[in-house]
Amino acid sequence: MMYFLLVLVVLLLSFVGQEFVPAIAWAYYARLLLVQTTFYCAAVTVPYPVMLLLAAATGFAWDARYHVPVYPEGSNHAELDFGFTMFLFGLMGSLIQGVRPLFRRGRWELPVFFIGVCTFLSLVIQYLVLSFHRGGLYLSTEMWFQMLMTSLFSMLAAPLILLLLSRLAKWTGYRIRLEGITRKYSYGDSI
Amino acid sequence: MSRINIIVLVAFVGLLVWVFLFGQGTVSRIQRGAQEVFGPVISGANRVEETVSGLGKETLSGVELRAQLEDAERERDRLRLEVLKLDELVDENNALRQALNYVERSPLKLVPARVISRKPSNWYNTLVIDKGHSAAIAPDSPVIVPVGERAGLVGKVSEVIGNDSSVVILLSDEVCQVSARIEGTTEQGILSGERGALSIMPDLKLRYLSKDAVAPPGRLVITSGAGGLFPENLLLGRVKEFKPGAITGEALVEAAVNFDVLKNVFVILPEPSGAAPQTTDAGLSRNATEP
């Protein structure tokens, strides 16, 4: 329980940190999505129900702060509607839960790669929804590069955040339990 | 899947549906709350950015000097627009009274505002200004800056998110579409930016021109005033290249405003009478009136 609260605090701090993250001009104005990356990292370490709760809280807070209300003509709902980030966080968090067993065994490579993939996927989904509303799929090289660079920044930051979370888990005595496996491991256990 | 997982999943989906059903007013209230909560962080981040970007540029103590300089710049810009406005008011007033007996109306109301941050979005080119409900800012209000002797269009207010903050969607964004014409011709089209925030200064596209339009490079592009949202004769940019198509022509336009260095802007307040405002070639001047 203590660990979950600390994860929530870390997510809150990531919102503060996000305000200080600049867009990088040479990376087609891509930027590190610190909140998303922190959530995806947290999603690897918590059970599914907790992940969904975190997705709801983080997605809601993200939209409350960063939602841009651009309404298509004749519609009361924005292109990327308020709550869409919650949906994306829930969806991507569910995907990330698939690599949780690997993380539990101390293998970080695939989870880190998967965090990058999920960042990329969420951007692609957002772009497709936006294009659907505007009635035209326009795909430029710069667009792909921007999304790839954003994902790359996530992958670079993910190990640091995972390290922080694993330290917090160790400090609070939290064990990442995998349902269906009898032996329970915690961080620091030799497998 | 365990029972608890299913229960939480159902609750999550229910919550999602509930949030998706939020109306614009509810969303606006939530964002206003978030703006107040994050306000100190945003201004802190802005101060850090200003300090970092100002490093090495000042030898005197920074913060107060910069604040004074910004105040002076803001006042200078406001006065410049006021002078343009007054000059044109006098000219127009005389001309209209003498020739057409136009009825003079009140001048446009400008509200100076300071850019406080940019929203970190991959999809929208936006910035946040420090004026909101308390300054009577309304959604879709045009935002301008002086460009030389003229008024250049920055974008429009997308949302007012508090008493002291509004979101401005920049002209460089695809969703900010402006009815425009090429100065000195009758060619009109729709000007818009690019999809996604890929660049601070993208080339703008002036679409739906006639395929044999006269659009030589360097020719000014200004607002046409059609639609009534943006005043007439606001400077948008210069033609960079013209591409004739099978049915219509398209011109690439270099924006007149440098969106990267915006610090102080002016918001045109909505007209009380609902009349579409109008400017002259030299800048802002008067409302549209009919004899």
* A positions 38-97 inside 8 Å of B (CB): 48-49, 52-53, 55-56, 60-61, 64-71, 76-83, 86-87, 90
- Is B242 a domain residue? yes
Say how many C-beta atoms besides its own lie within 10 A of residue B69's C-beta: 11
Tally of domains within chain A? 1
Q: Which of A74-83, B122-131, B232-241 has the highest mean pLDDT?
A: B232-241
Which residues have CB under 8 Å from A181's CB, separation 6+? none
Phi, psi of B192 (to 5 degrees): -150, 165
The pLDDT tens digits for B119-152 are 767 788 888 898 888 888 988 899 998 887 788 8
Looking at residue B272, its pLDDT comes to: 63
Tally of domains within chain B? 1
3-state secondary structure A173-186: CCCCCCCCCCCCCC
Q: Do B8 and A70 touch (CB under 8 A)?
A: no
Q: Which of A90-94, A168-172, A176-180, B55-59 has the highest mean pLDDT?
A: A90-94
Dig out the tokens for A9 from the structure: 């605090």
Q: Which residue has the higher pLDDT, A181 or B160?
A: B160
Phi, psi of B79 (to 5 degrees): -65, -35
Phi, psi of B204 (to 5 degrees): -90, 155
Structural domain for A100, as ranges: 2-172
Pairing of strands B204-210, B248-255: antiparallel
SS3 B69: helix
Q: Do B12 and A150 touch (CB under 8 A)?
A: no
- Is A8 a domain residue? yes
Share of chain B above pLDDT 70, in %: 81
- Is B113 a domain residue? yes
- Is B243 a domain residue? yes
Q: Does B22 touch chain A (CB under 8 A)?
A: yes
Contact (CB, 8 A) for A109 and B42: no
Rounded distance between C-alpha atoms, residue A94 and residue A8, angstroms: 18
The pLDDT tens digits for B163-216 are 888 899 999 888 888 999 998 888 899 998 888 767 777 889 999 988 888 888
Task: Please name the member of A56, A123, A127 whose beta carbon is closest to the beta carbon of B15.
Answer: A56
Q: Which residue has the higher pLDDT, B120 or A144?
A: A144
Which residues have CB under 8 Å from B194's CB, separation 6+? B172, B173, B174, B202, B203, B205
Contact (CB, 8 A) for A68 and B31: no
- Is A163 a domain residue? yes
The count of residues in chain B is 291
Contact (CB, 8 A) for A55 and A89: yes
Which residues have CB under 8 Å from A183's CB, separation 6+? none
Q: Do A61 and B34 touch (CB under 8 A)?
A: yes
- Is A74 a domain residue? yes
Q: Do A61 and B44 touch (CB under 8 A)?
A: no
CA torsion B257-B260-B265-B271 (nearest 10°) is 60
What confidence category does residue A182 fall into, taking pLDDT thresholds of 50, 70 and 90? very low
Share of chain A above pLDDT 70, in %: 92
Looking at residue B278, its pLDDT comes to: 53
Q: Do A90 and B12 touch (CB under 8 A)?
A: yes
- Is B75 a domain residue? yes
- Is A94 a domain residue? yes
Q: What is the ipTM of this complex?
A: 0.79
Dig out the tokens for A168 from the structure: 């917090």
Task: Please name the member of B2, B30, B195 whose beta carbon is closest to the beta carbon of A64.
Answer: B30
- Is A109 a domain residue? yes
- Is A6 a domain residue? yes
Q: What is the pTM of this model?
A: 0.75
CATH number of the domain to which A61 belongs: 1.10.1760
Q: Which residues pair with B176 in a beta bridge?
A: none
Looking at residue B281, its pLDDT comes to: 47
Strands (E), B171-281: 178-182, 188-192, 204-210, 220-223, 235-244, 248-255, 264-268, 277-280
- Is A186 a domain residue? no
Rounded distance between C-alpha atoms, residue B165 and residue B43, angstroms: 12
The pLDDT tens digits for B43-78 are 777 777 767 766 655 566 677 788 888 888 888 888
| Alpha helices by DSSP H, chain B | 3-20, 24-54, 62-95
- Is A65 a domain residue? yes
* B positions 82-141 inside 8 Å of A (CB): 117-124, 126
Looking at residue A126, its pLDDT comes to: 92
Structural domain for B93, as ranges: 63-291
Indicate whether B103 pLDDT > 60.
no
CATH number of the domain to which B166 belongs: 2.40.10.340
Rounded distance between C-alpha atoms, residue A87 and residue A93, angstroms: 10
Which residues have CB under 8 Å from A110's CB, separation 6+? A99, A102
Rounded distance between C-alpha atoms, residue B229 and residue B178, angstroms: 8
Rounded distance between C-alpha atoms, residue B152 and residue A158, angstroms: 43
Which chain A residues are closer than 8 Å to B196 by Cβ?
127, 143, 146
